[in-house]
């Protein structure tokens, strides 16, 4: 069996280390792993592989992959494997690594909220300047997460971990997911379907976006939805920038309809140095790093290895992707 390994991105954190490719070769000596570092290299060998470990293949590469039977994405997103319908039509199974980053992203969300609620930006700036600002903090009081109403759009693996932590902080949590009729976890007050999004976010004080970036979620949150939130609400986006109408978000921040935002994703990355979001004191900007953590690749390799054994033995794959839904 031959397997293509093509996990190469401009972002260093998401590019597979050579040591992990060596680990796969050691674990599965009976398999030939072909490690491509560029798309051209991947295209050159893909015609001779049975499976691919990659988050990205374009149409020419897929068309050339005559023996391909399975693709596993190193990421949760599979939008780089297009078109999914073509893979499905050829009977090529697709699985992904969803869940790997869930805890890291959930902790990132809570950290961003605490930066805003406990005024850490002001406090840390004062620390660098050796200033004691105890009395200043009564001009714009810190506030509590406890008792707040949070709505999570995208109650999947990431959203569930966020909900657990929000509930532990004493927040009331509502969630939106594609299948609303599934079991409701104890830490979520109510689960809504995607067609009920307006009801789900109405009067929310914190809106968290952790939904997949697919066509169905593009532009899901616009000016009308932002107006439904409690005035002064906080928007947290650890999903995809395209889910939110950017100009509407900026307008809501400027008007006070949004009291702040925690943003990890942007229409263009890196975020332009002249973008007004940088200068807003009530906005926490992180460089698309919410999923970063030590040992990330250890867990990705474990998940891929488990699925490889399943693929070899004809068992159902973990995290099989629904090509119709796009995730």
Q: Catalytic amino acids?
A: 240, 269, 288
Dist CA 264 CA 33 (whole Å): 34
Exposure string (b/e) for 105-137, b if CB count within 10 Å is 16 or more? bbebbbebbbbbbebbebbeebeeeeeeeeeee
Dist CA 107 CA 105 (whole Å): 5
Dist CA 108 CA 105 (whole Å): 5
Dist CA 251 CA 222 (whole Å): 11
Q: Are 105 and 157 in contact (CB under 8 A)?
A: no
Q: And the tokens for 77?
A: 């997103």
Other CB atoms within a 10 A radius of the CB of residue 26 amount to: 8
Other CB atoms within a 10 A radius of the CB of residue 219 amount to: 13
Dist CA 145 CA 111 (whole Å): 11
């Amino acid at each position: 069996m031959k397997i293509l390994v093509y996990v190469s991105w401009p972002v260093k954190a998401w590019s597979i280390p050579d040591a992990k490719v060596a680990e796969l070769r050691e674990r599965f000596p009976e398999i030939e792993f072909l490690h491509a570092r560029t798309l051209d290299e991947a295209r050159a060998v893909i015609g001779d592989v049975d499976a691919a470990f990659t988050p990205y293949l374009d149409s020419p590469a897929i068309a050339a992959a005559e023996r391909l039977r399975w693709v596993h994405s190193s990421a949760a997103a599979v939008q780089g494997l297009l078109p999914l319908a073509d893979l499905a039509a050829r009977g090529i199974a697709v699985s992904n690594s969803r869940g790997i980053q869930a805890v890291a992203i959930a902790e990132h969300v809570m950290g961003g909220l605490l930066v805003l609620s406990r005024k850490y930006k002001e406090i840390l700036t004062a620390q660098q300047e050796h200033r004691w600002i105890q009395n200043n903090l009564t001009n714009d009081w810190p506030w509590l997460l406890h008792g707040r109403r949070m709505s999570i759009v995208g109650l999947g693996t990431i959203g569930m971990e966020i909900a657990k932590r929000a509930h532990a902080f004493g927040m009331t949590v509502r969630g939106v997911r594609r299948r609303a009729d599934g079991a409701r976890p104890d830490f979520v007050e109510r689960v809504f379907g995607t067609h009920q999004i307006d009801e789900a976010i109405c009067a929310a004080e914190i809106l968290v976006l952790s939904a997949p970036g697919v066509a169905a979620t593009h532009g899901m949150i616009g000016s009308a939805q932002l107006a439904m939130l409690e005035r002064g609400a906080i928007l947290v986006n650890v999903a995809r920038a395209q889910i939110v109408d950017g100009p509407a978000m900026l307008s809501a921040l400027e008007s006070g309809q949004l009291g702040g935002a925690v943003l990890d994703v942007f229409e263009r990355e890196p975020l332009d140095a002249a973008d007004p979001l940088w200068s807003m004191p009530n906005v926490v900007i992180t460089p698309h790093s919410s999923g970063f953590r030590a040992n990330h690749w250890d867990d990705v390799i474990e998940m891929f290895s488990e699925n490889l054994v399943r693929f070899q033995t004809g068992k159902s794959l973990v995290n099989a992707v629904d090509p119709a839904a796009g995730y």
